[in-house]
Amino acid sequence: MQAAAHLGWETGFVHGLRMHLNIVIPVATFLVKVLVRVFSRDEIAEVLRSFANLPLELMLIAMSFVLGALSGLSESYIGKFEKQSDADLFAVLLIIGIFLLSIVINRLTRFVRILFEKLFVAFKQYRQLAAQPRIPGTVPSVTVTGRVLWAMAYCILLVMMLTLNIGISFITLAYILHLIQ
């Protein structure tokens, strides 16, 4: 009796995972990537930097699903079209679209890296300026405030670019999964 209840829980869990593949695939990809880098004894900073490549990796996963559907692994994908040639043409157009979006994501990722480096430099300069001795009772230099403002601007841009990058890849992957299921 307990084995049947346990089997029901597992079946429900697997069904839930299948229903939400657009969330499961990115999370699993990220976790495996982090675990491999941690067990490879990479530095924490390098592990965190690898997060910026996740959107491009998700685009490649989406492209592999389209290629799998094109090869006939997904009967529901082919069933959505009247002829096999229509399904093939749409798959080719999807691959071209994913390729073009991947170029956009790659450019955005480059911009994210530049922003991250600028943020790092701004914080480093802030720490150096804040550590300098000053005369008691005087107001801190405008350069200290400027570094804080630049750091905030870089943080805001960084979050916006990462959100855009991840959003494009999640939406593309979700659309492809919806198409082949």
Instruction: Examine the pLDDT at 107 and tell me if it is beyond 90.
Output: yes
Q: How confident is the model at residue 46 (pLDDT cuts 50, 70, 90)?
A: confident
Whole-model pTM?
A: 0.76
Instruction: Examine the pLDDT at 78 and tell me if it is beyond 50.
Output: yes
The residue written with tokens 């399904």 in the block is 87
Percent of the chain with pLDDT over 90: 29
Distances (CA, A) of 44 to 41, 49, 103, 127, 153: 9, 9, 27, 21, 24
Instruction: Examine the pLDDT at 143 and tell me if it is beyond 80.
Output: no
Instruction: Examine the pLDDT at 19 and tell me if it is beyond 80.
Output: no
139, 153 in Cβ contact below 8 A?
no
Q: Domain boundaries in the chain?
A: 53-180
Q: How confident is the model at residue 1 (pLDDT cuts 50, 70, 90)?
A: very low
Q: How far apart are the first and last CA of the chain?
A: 34
Instruction: Examine the pLDDT at 84 and tell me if it is beyond 90.
Output: no
Instruction: Examine the pLDDT at 99 and tell me if it is beyond 90.
Output: yes
Q: What is the pLDDT of residues 116-136, one digit of tens each?
A: 889 888 888 888 887 888 777
- Give residue 2's pLDDT: 53
The residue-averaged pLDDT of 155-165 equals 93
Percent of the chain with pLDDT over 70: 95
Residues 6+ apart with CB under 8 A from 162: 52, 112
Q: How many CA atoms lie within 13 A of 133 on its CB side?
A: 1
